[in-house]
Amino acid sequence: MTSRTSSSRATRRLFAAQLLFQFRVRTKNRSNQRRVCEIRTVLIPSRSGDKALEKATRFGREEEFDYVDGARHVFFEFIGVKELLDLPANADPTEVWWDLVVLHRPRERRAELIPRRSELRAFSVVTKRRAGPKV
């Protein structure tokens, strides 16, 4: 992507876009009602929020695909941009997303709020990313 030096940030900014996709499965000309969805965060270098939104939308549409699996036709479809953040020039270069939330006594409820290591996706045996839904 682009570096966050002051000279490059003067004209070009960095945005984080949260994109929503769905897997829609059609069998016998009927689509499933409950769908597996993906929320993906991508970095978008752009000169303005409007241009970043256009780029994020174009990126989402370009990611769409479909395939036939026996009697099922599976569609991976872009739904839209859920959120767009303008990352500040002084942000840590490893920071790509944040949410501010109000929680009741989070330190005291740490065991309830923070998953065990084995529950983190990087350490789980979940199917590979975008492998498609099992229906």
Q: Where exactly are the structural domains of the chain?
A: 6-95
d(CA 104, CA 100): 13
What pLDDT sits at residue 23?
Answer: 97
Q: What is the pTM of this model?
A: 0.76
What pLDDT sits at residue 100?
Answer: 85
Query: What's the gap between Cα 61 and its chain centre?
Result: 13
Helix (H) or strand (E) holding 37: strand 37-46
Whether the pLDDT of residue 58 is over 80: the answer is yes
